[in-house]
Amino acid sequence: MDPSRRVGPVPKGIVAAGGSDVGREREQNEDAYLCDADRGVFVVADGMGGEAAGEVASALAVEVLGRVLTEDNIARWLSREGNLRSLFLEAIRQANDAVIAGWQARRELFGMGSTVVAAVYRHGRAHVCNLGDSRAYLVRQNRWAQLTRDHSIAAELAETGQITPEEARTHRLRNQLTRSLGQKPLEPYFCEAELQPGDRLVLCSDGLWDMLPDHVIAQIAAAYEAPEMAVRELIDLANDAGGYDNISVIVVKALGDAENLASLAAEPITAVELQLPARGDETGQVGTNEQWSFEEDLPRSSRKTEPGPQKQEEEPG
């Protein structure tokens, strides 16, 4: 889709653009995305499965989330519950049902699945949800943070301290998912973050973050005033780095007046507090309560030089 057609209106407080590219190695693009700045709804899904099944799964994920995350539903959930946790969960459940119904109806689709990362922008906040290893980042000036959690074996090893985050980045099981649509457990991660004027919210599939260091993604997202330019550049850079996988990215930019931006620039920003819902009830597992800090924009370990293994070809262990 033409990114220039995805620019949202100023009154909403954001502009956004999205793009998806097949990359340099794959024959099909199994990613899908929805970039609706008018509604403030953004989704990236990365499908997996044999033949064209991955494409079907990611398309279903985007379609169902787009259908559930209506303006009415978002307004209703926010006024009733103050967050979108249970609405996201309902959307994820319906998307999962659609994926399973899809493979029940068509045998060749059996086993298909999809990651999903979704963000809803309302009243200066980003409400974010993910399942699998598609990510959301928040970029503020020269700092960035990953808002989502990767549901992969490597990420879980890092969370329990068995390997370092640096090791997780190149671990051979970094693409082996522990959660996704079409696979148990159906336990998405939720978080919220305030968006300040000038902030960028980046949603992407692993075809972007596996090819480019996080700080490069952050720098490029913030380097262009127009989100569609940043999207184009990020896709080009991921292809230049090898383009081993499909690449999808959405860049959302929070707008603000010049006075606001100037005062922000004068103040060093050290941390943003996330409000995370309490842990564990029948509606699903969520993240632990914690505060997080922006990671410093430090040099990171090198860009990947070897082709990454494909999700569906790897065995855990």
Determine, following the binding rule CB under 5 A, whether residue 245 of this chain makes contact with Mn ion: yes
Binding string, residues 254-283; x marks residues near Mn ion by CB under 5 A: ------------------------------
Cα(18)–Cα(174) distance, rounded to whole angstroms?
25
Nearer to Mn ion (CB atom), residue 55 or residue 192: 55
What residue has token string 């960035």?
144
CB of 24 to Mn ion, least distance (A): 13
Rule CB under 5 A: choose which of 13, 20, 46, 54 binds Mn ion: 46
Give me the least distance between CB of 202 and Mn ion, in Å please: 16
Closest CA to 150 of 120, 123, 112, 189: 189
**Site stretch for Mn ion (CB under 5 A), options 39-47, 104-112, 136-144, 247-255:** 39-47
How far is the C-alpha of 148 from the C-alpha of 128, rounded, in Å? 8
**Stretch binding Mn ion (CB under 5 A), from 50-58, 237-245, 249-257, 284-292:** 237-245
Q: How far is the C-alpha of 254 from the C-alpha of 60, rounded, in Å?
A: 28
Sole binder of Mn ion in the list 206, 216, 227, 284 (CB under 5 A): 206
Comparing CB distances to Mn ion, the nearer of 207 and 242 is: 207
At position 171, the amino acid (one-letter code) is: H
Helices (H), 138-249: 153-159, 165-170, 206-209, 214-223, 227-240
Q: Are 89 and 103 in contact (CB under 8 A)?
A: no
Question: How many Å separate Cα 277 from the centre of its chain?
Answer: 19
Q: Closest CB to Mn ion among 196 and 312?
A: 312
Instruction: Point out which span in 41-49, 159-167, 223-231, 273-281 binds Mn ion (CB under 5 A).
Output: 41-49
Closest contact distance (angstroms) between CB of 307 and Mn ion is 13
3-class DSSP state of 107: helix
Residues of the shown chain interacting with Mn ion in the complex, contacts defined by CB under 5 A? 46, 205-207, 245
